[in-house]
Amino acid sequence: MLASPKQLFEKAAEGNYAIGAFNVNNMELTQAIVEAAVLERAPLILQISAGARKYANPVYLKKIIEAAVELNPEIPIVQHLDHGEDFEICKAAVDEGYNSVMIDASRLPFEENIALTKKVADYAHSKAVWVEAELGRLAGVEDWVNVEAREAAFTDSEQAAEFVKKTGCDSLAIAIGTSHGAYKFKGESRLDFERLAEIREKLPKNYPLVLHGASSVPAELVAEAEKYGAKLSGARGVSDEMLAKAAKSGIRKINTDTDLRLAMTAAIRKVFAENPADFDPRKYLGPAREAIRDLVRGKMKTFGCSGKI
């Protein structure tokens, strides 16, 4: 049985930590992430994006997660739709049994974002499903240089309070300096913690805030992948120090996707380079699974959710 998002976030608020939310699109990713949660005794959010649904088929993904839940009943697992772009995909996920969905209408004008988010929240709540929304646009690498662009993209605290009140969304992804992908910053990573504090002040006590685009893009993973032929020059993410501080500053869910891809890619490239005669997928997907497991264990420690079950 899937775990209650509400209960997990209440415990995270009490313990002042963030829950790791990891994107999955195949069996090996899911196995690795769940094994990490077992070893770390950590709550877990398994995320499925629209792209993952197209790649793997929702039925396959649903069954893989059902297997993970059945085999590991001691681990509280939430099944979450990541970045649902319209009402239809959110409704489909709710109807398929997801117990958490994200409606991402941040590309729309403020009032339209409110209207679409409320529509999703009304339907999801009628089925007892948690709803995450997004306000503000994740900044790119230039936004710390161009102050006007940064201010336009980042989440405004007054708007956040109005948005949550009018939509009824259960958690809110905010823009405070992160971005999706492997190329987040030109220099040292920076997050706007002053803005985070302002947003928390305007929202109800312990309201769950979410950090997207939060992969660290570890230098050692980039170096390992490049050693075996990858081209990742300039890849830079959010430092673990920043993520740990965010978790202690009111962020209750931290998304990770890019780092999983890097760990998998580096491990597979290494096997291909060192064992060119191997063609059994288990020979390279096995090491990739181990690499992802080890990465996720480190993330759970950074987020503070290790040992919380």
CB 20 within 8 A of CB 256: yes
User: CA-based diameter of the chain, in Å?
Assistant: 60
| Cα dihedral: 53, 118, 174, 199 (round 10) | -160
Provide the residue type at 178 as one letter. T
Tell me whether residue 82 is one of the annotated catalytic residues.
Answer: yes
What tokens were used for 222? 């980039």
What tokens were used for 267? 């491990």
Active-site choice (82, 104, 143, 192): 82
For residues 139 and 204, give the distance between their C-alpha atoms in angstroms, rounded to a whole number.
Answer: 25
Per DSSP, the residues of 91-127 read HHHHHHT-SEEEE--TTS-HHHHHHHHHHHHHHHHHT
In a 3-state reduction of DSSP, which class is residue 14?
Answer: helix
Q: Which of 185, 186, 183, 181 is nearest to 258 (CA)?
A: 181
What tokens were used for 218? 């570890």
Q: Which of 233, 240, 250, 187 is nearest to 214 (CA)?
A: 240
What tokens were used for 227? 């050693």
For residues 253 and 42, give the distance between their C-alpha atoms in angstroms, rounded to a whole number.
Answer: 13
Catalytic residues: 82
